[in-house]
């Protein structure tokens, strides 16, 4: 149990993002705290998981979580996301461990200017087309190339696994109506969105301020997740569909969790976000895990932040 006088865990004391399990999905259980571990209890017993080893905790239907468990996850720099049946609906997320507004200010500035927004959007497409020069392409041209690329990827994995593919087809209100590969794609993408969302809020960015996507409270989540789908969620979905899994959602999450951890997605995602939002002269190596600033400054009309927590009134 945490005492009232215990200081918050400092960022440098947290487990590095690269060493964490990317996500843990729980359904129909009670989540509590036992020392520095979270516990998941159902009729089969209790499982202990070190809180600091989890990047994001996905809570599905039938879960109840205690105040102490949430406090531990927050102190451990882990994000909690509430999701729907099979993990395919996002509802809400817990507190962010971010201690700085640096990146969200850079994000807001970049998205508010047409030229800088186009620069970031092109940079996102350039990450997906590393062999092509996209510096002069319009958004319409970039969307066309992306659509053609994704269709090629679907055909490639359909041929590789022998799973028939016609088109992306799913009903958000009737997940079971889709064929196995579309069910697996929905489950995999939802889990990826949860992980990416956790990194975005952990860095202090806004999930709503997208560069390619717009008008949605998770636009930036979809922007960043799209960087990784063709190498992560699409092949995993076809692999699961090829195995004719009994529980497509659970099997997809297991496959994807192994892929995410092996590819060190948390660290990669944090680096990609910082690289996209910061100017080249600001783009130093990110710290391990999360950004490590814990300084409150005051705004100055001359463009320089001044130190907070100081009396500027002079002697009385």
Query: Residue ranges for the binding site for Mn(2+)?
Result: 146, 213, 226
Burial class (CB within 10 angstroms; exposed 0-12, middle 13-18, buried 19+) of 159: exposed
Q: Are 207 and 221 in contact (CB under 8 A)?
A: yes
Indicate the annotated binding residues: 146, 213, 226
């Amino acid at each position: 149990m945490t005492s009232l006088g215990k200081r918050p865990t400092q960022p440098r004391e947290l487990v590095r993002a690269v060493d964490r399990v990317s996500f843990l999905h729980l359904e129909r259980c009670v989540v509590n705290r036992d020392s520095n571990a979270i516990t998941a209890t159902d009729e089969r017993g209790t499982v202990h998981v070190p809180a600091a080893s989890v990047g994001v905790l996905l809570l599905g239907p039938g879960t109840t979580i205690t105040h102490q468990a949430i406090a531990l996850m927050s102190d451990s720099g882990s994000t909690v996301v509430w999701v729907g049946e099979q993990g395919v609906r996002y509802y809400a997320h817990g507190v962010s461990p971010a201690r700085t507004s640096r990146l969200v200010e850079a994000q807001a500035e970049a998205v508010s200017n047409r030229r800088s927004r186009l620069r970031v959007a092109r940079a996102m497409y350039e990450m997906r087309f590393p062999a092509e020069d996209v510096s002069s392409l319009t958004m319409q041209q970039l969307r066309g190339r992306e659509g053609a690329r994704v269709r090629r990827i679907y055909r490639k994995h359909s041929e590789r696994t022998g799973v028939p593919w016609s088109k992306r087809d799913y009903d958000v209100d009737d997940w079971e109506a889709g064929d196995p590969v579309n069910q697996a794609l929905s489950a995999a993408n939802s889990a990826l969105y949860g992980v990416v969302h956790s990194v975005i809020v952990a860095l202090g960015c806004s999930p709503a301020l997208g560069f390619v996507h717009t008008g949605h409270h998770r636009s930036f989540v979809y922007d960043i997740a799209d960087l990784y789908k063709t190498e992560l969620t699409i092949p995993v979905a076809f692999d699961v569909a090829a195995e004719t899994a009994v529980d497509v959602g659970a099997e997809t999450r297991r496959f994807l969790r192994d892929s995410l951890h092996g590819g060190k997605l948390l660290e990669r995602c944090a680096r990609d976000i910082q690289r996209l939002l910061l100017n080249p002269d600001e783009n130093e190596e990110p710290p391990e895990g999360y950004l490590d600033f814990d300084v409150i400054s005051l705004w100055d009309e001359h463009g320089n932040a001044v130190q907070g927590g100081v009396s500027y009134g002079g002697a009385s």
